[in-house]
Structure 1
Amino acid sequence: MGRCILLALCCALLGLHVAFGQGTRRLRYTFSLFPVYRDSSDYNSPKIYILSTTDKYQVTGVLNVPFRSLSYPFTVDPLGMSKISLPSYSVGRYTGASSTTITIEANGDVVVYGYSQYSSYQDSFYVIPVKHTGTEYYISSYNHYTSDPGSYFALTSFFDDTDVTIYFSRQYSYSGGTYDRDNPLQLKLNAFDNFLFEVLFDFTGTFINASKDFSVSCGHPYTRTVSGVDTLVEFPPPVESWGSYFLVTKFRLQSSYTLRILPSQNNTLVSLRTIGLNDTREVTIQPGSFHEEKQLPSSLEVFSSAPVMLVQYMTTDNPSMTLVPPLDRTKRSPLFLNSLEATYIDVTVWFSSPDNLNLRVDGASVEWEEILTDESEWSVVQARLGPNNHILSHDDSTVKMAALAYYDGSSHPVMYFNHLDNDVDDQAPFVYGCPQDPIMAEMPTNEEVVAVYWEPPEAADNSGLEVKTVSNYNPGDLFEIGSTSVMYSFEDVSGNNSTCQFEVFVADVSPPLILYCPSNLELATCADAAEISWEEPQVHDDSGHVISNNSHNPGDKLSIGNTRISYIFSDSSGNEAVCDFVVTIDPKECQPPTVIGLIVAIVVFSLAIVCLVLMIVYMIVKTVRS
């Protein structure tokens, strides 16, 4: 199926937003719409499926169609899925620039699949994430049914000034020139640029490279195989993600398949062994060409002297095109997939173990159909799964896995192609629950420390294994007044580290404690003012530092009447305590100092006269008696 409408997913555009760290929203996918077969025809809107890869936290993000000013915020529950239906619109059909960028940003890892439908025909796609794109690609298509339209491929650049060179597998005419492998076409693209090519031949083997990372999608909206006509489209992986060992088998309930092998290096030697038969053959392939095996009924083991790309075509019933996962570049379990619009989905699963009893779907055992068992330490099984999300996993976490998912002409790989062998893990754990704001607490009165509690952050790793956590403080630890930095470090088994840092702030909300505050004072004076002294207040604060701001000081001269004496004590947190008292000075009647002196002088003089008179009388009396 998948005829007439083609949602090609060009994975690109790394330069939209800068990643600020774990748990921060960043660009993870970019893609664009392919042209419809007949621009005048209505078709069902393309759908994007965004799958969560963790059971520990909720993922939020936004899908943007920037050139149409459309935004679709989304939230994906743990191990859940969010479906976004995009508006149907024509993006043109012919060679030239096309501003059709779609971006997906999220604050956690997600898996993205695409689905498009015209009438009853559909196709599905696995979108290669930005981090798995590269600078070199070979592309594939198939024989087209008519000359209108031709095959298509689309380029999406990530950065400004991206120089792209296209080595066509056959002569291609564009803008007055003719181009092939000896005379490549050169383009310069800027960030967000999409360039669409309509090619009226099977361009399989065409090589494209660029000065910076970019992405490409390729296929045919209306191609003919042995038994039918359908849409074929895929995201080719960059050359650096190719592999050298494959086990190829026909799709479930299909009788045969066609295989194309594309090399990237000169004189690539490929060995093909039909499993179950004494039939091994070798072929040598050159870049720009491909080796094709048609209508194969049996499973095939493929070795190559250099990395190659294998493209498998389902050529019975409704045709389909997909990429065979290289087993030397597979992922450890689990894998995440969705049935998309179908009520069921068939899967082919490769895993590096003979034990399929512990190969599970959604944690449960499945009755697998064994295709190959312990073939060079690999096994291949198939099954039909129900609708919605599914998780493929193995009880042995070291088992590597790959899968293809397909339904009635719609097919796509499941989370495949790593730049590095999976034994090399350079991805740091993903941190969630890291506090974005300081943890606030209050210091109790008369205490010097307080226990502070918070919900500790956690981390999940792409390995699925436990993450080592180290922190300088833990919930319930004692903190002093002020701000303290708390640091969590998370390390996976490969030594990759992530951190979470936040502040614990203990606020001093207790005012200084006044230990002594003078009582009101009262006295009287016959003067206009009097110098007054008092014992100053005594104060204590947990911070150990108190500032005093007082209205008067002991020894100040105060006027008659009531005077309020205020002491305002403040600590370093701005908490205040006040001590105030009133000094009352009453007036009283007093003789002027000069009158009092005169009276004293008169009294003294009078006493002196009296004494003198008494002395004279005494002398006279004594004389008379003598």
Structure 2
Amino acid sequence: MTEDLTGSKVTATQPVAVLSGTVFAPCRPMGEQQRGTGDYVVEMIPPVDTWGKEFVTVPLKKHTGDDLFRIVAARENTQVDVTNENSRTLNAGEFWEIDVPSDEYRHVSSSEPVLLVQYSKSGSADRTDTDPFMMVIPSVAQFESEYTFSTVDLVRGPSGSTHHINLVISSADKAGLRLDGQRLPSDAVWHDVPGTRYAATHLDVSSGTHTVHHLSPIATVGLFSYGFVSPESYGYPGGLRLARIAALCSTTAPVPADRVDNDCDGRVDEELLNGIDDDGDGLIDEDLARSNCADSRDQYRTCLQNRDQYRTCLQNRDQYRTCLQNRCRNLRP
């Protein structure tokens, strides 16, 4: 089959998984001849109810000949805005393919939920030791605050393989990021994403398993893991929430870290239990991340060591009782 099935609608009476891809793709723009090294590219497609309205694109390390992106709409009259591009309106099942220069960081926003996918091109497109892969880009609303991820062993010349991650985070939260428990390397170069509060960076990582987390449970980060050796590659989002932020919503009582949009604002678990409007929407403690003091002895020590968090736990008797109920009662510094 040679037809492009992008935009196809799949429904089922019971839960199913949908994977999309092709057995061999050089991943060049549609208007170009599809030639050069290619790969089997595939991704599991998230349910439409989990698609988002705001994204950040980050170029892939090593590439110099641009990165491909496709934006797929699920609903009629979806207006899509992309940095340095003219706006477009897509109907359900339509898609927009964009070839983004390798030195540009873009902001994508839409009036209705969309799916964004990034493609690594054939290494022959820019004479680099890279190859094609397909990678779903989660919306910023689906970012997590912690990840455990692993590199992929590449069969062709494993000793020459390179492994990389792209990180996206609010500029104000960069200092709290940790890679394998340590601060990010001092030579990490951050790039501001035009028109947004976000910044992004590339990092090289060694082969094996790694962790990325933020000291605050409400400071979320996008992580994308990928690697190359000629002529092989891999790429995948390091993790993502699958909250139903695009589904019909009704307000619910907040439960810490329930991954539910309790206040129907298109975001999930964005508040601390501290009597403060952390997300600036005029509501307080309405959609909670994990409890401030609760989940491990190390987190409780951190709470005590940090003056602001300490005040959060102890500023009044009711909040202290709540903290105790969230398993702090059995923890000792």
Q: Could you say which TM-score interval applies, normalised by the shorter chain?
A: 0.5 to 0.7
Alignment of 1:38-187 (within 5 A): none
For residue 392 of structure 1, report the CA deviation from its aligned partner.
0.6
Letter matched to residue 140 of structure 2: L
CA distance in 1, matches of 2:295, 2:41: 45
1:306 and 2:112 are equivalent in the alignment: yes
Equivalent position to 1:232, from 34, 41, 46:
41
Letter matched to residue 401 of structure 1: V
Number of aligned residue pairs: 239
For residue 240 of structure 1, report the CA deviation from its aligned partner.
0.7
Letter matched to residue 308 of structure 1: V
Deviations 1:498-519 (A, max 9, x none): xxxxxxxxxxxxxxxxxxxxxx
Larger radius of gyration: 1
For residue 359 of structure 1, report the CA deviation from its aligned partner.
1.6
For residue 338 of structure 1, report the CA deviation from its aligned partner.
0.8
Are residues 335 and 464 of structure 1, via their aligned partners in 2, closer, same or farther at CA, if it must alter by over 3 Å? farther
Partner of residue 243, structure 2: 419
Are residues 313 and 376 of structure 1, via their aligned partners in 2, closer, same or farther at CA, if it must alter by over 3 Å? same
Percent identity among equivalent residues?
Answer: 21
Are residues 375 and 496 of structure 1, via their aligned partners in 2, closer, same or farther at CA, if it must alter by over 3 Å? farther
Partner of residue 287, structure 1: 92
1:323 and 2:129 are equivalent in the alignment: no
CA contact (8 A) 1:330 1:418 kept: no
CA distance in 2, matches of 1:252, 1:464: 37
Deviations 1:235-273 (A, max 9, x none): 110001100001112111212111111011101000111
Three-state SS of the structure 1 residue aligned to 2:86 is strand
CA distance in 2, matches of 1:231, 1:264: 25
Letter matched to residue 69 of structure 2: L
Greater share of helix: 2
CA distance in 1, matches of 2:176, 2:289: 20
Alignment of 1:356-375 (within 5 A): 356-367=174-185, 368-372=188-192
CA distance in 2, matches of 1:424, 1:340: 38
Partner of residue 219, structure 1: 21
Greater share of strand: 1
Partner of residue 129, structure 1: none
Equivalent position to 1:340, from 152, 161, 164:
152
1:380 and 2:169 are equivalent in the alignment: no
For residue 356 of structure 1, report the CA deviation from its aligned partner.
2.6
CA contact (8 A) 1:242 1:417 kept: no
For residue 427 of structure 1, report the CA deviation from its aligned partner.
5.4
Deviations 1:19-77 (A, max 9, x none): xxxxxxxxxxxxxxxxxxxxxxxxxxxxxxxxxxxxxxxxxxxxxxxxxxxxxxxxxxx
Letter matched to residue 242 of structure 1: W
Partner of residue 463, structure 1: 290
Alignment of 1:444-455 (within 5 A): none
CA distance in 2, matches of 1:496, 1:288: 45
CA contact (8 A) 1:354 1:374 kept: no
Three-state SS of the structure 2 residue aligned to 1:247 is strand
For residue 313 of structure 1, report the CA deviation from its aligned partner.
0.8
For residue 354 of structure 1, report the CA deviation from its aligned partner.
3.0
For residue 399 of structure 1, report the CA deviation from its aligned partner.
0.5
Which sections of structure 2, spanning at least 5 residues, go unmatched? 29-35, 124-130, 155-160, 246-252, 259-287, 297-320, 328-333
Partner of residue 208, structure 1: 10
CA distance in 2, matches of 1:468, 1:419: 22
Letter matched to residue 108 of structure 2: V
For residue 424 of structure 1, report the CA deviation from its aligned partner.
6.4
For residue 390 of structure 1, report the CA deviation from its aligned partner.
0.8
Alignment of 1:510-589 (within 5 A): none
1:245 and 2:54 are equivalent in the alignment: yes
CA distance in 2, matches of 1:340, 1:492: 43
1:354 and 2:164 are equivalent in the alignment: no
Partner of residue 147, structure 1: none
CA distance in 2, matches of 1:336, 1:296: 30
Superposition CA RMSD, Å: 3.1
Are residues 327 and 340 of structure 1, via their aligned partners in 2, closer, same or farther at CA, if it must alter by over 3 Å? same
CA contact (8 A) 2:27 2:132 kept: yes
Give the alignment's TM-score, normalised by structure 1: 0.35
For residue 288 of structure 1, report the CA deviation from its aligned partner.
1.9
Give the alignment's TM-score, normalised by structure 2: 0.64
Deviations 1:109-162 (A, max 9, x none): xxxxxxxxxxxxxxxxxxxxxxxxxxxxxxxxxxxxxxxxxxxxxxxxxxxxxx
For residue 462 of structure 1, report the CA deviation from its aligned partner.
8.0
CA distance in 1, matches of 2:13, 2:152: 36
For residue 344 of structure 1, report the CA deviation from its aligned partner.
4.8
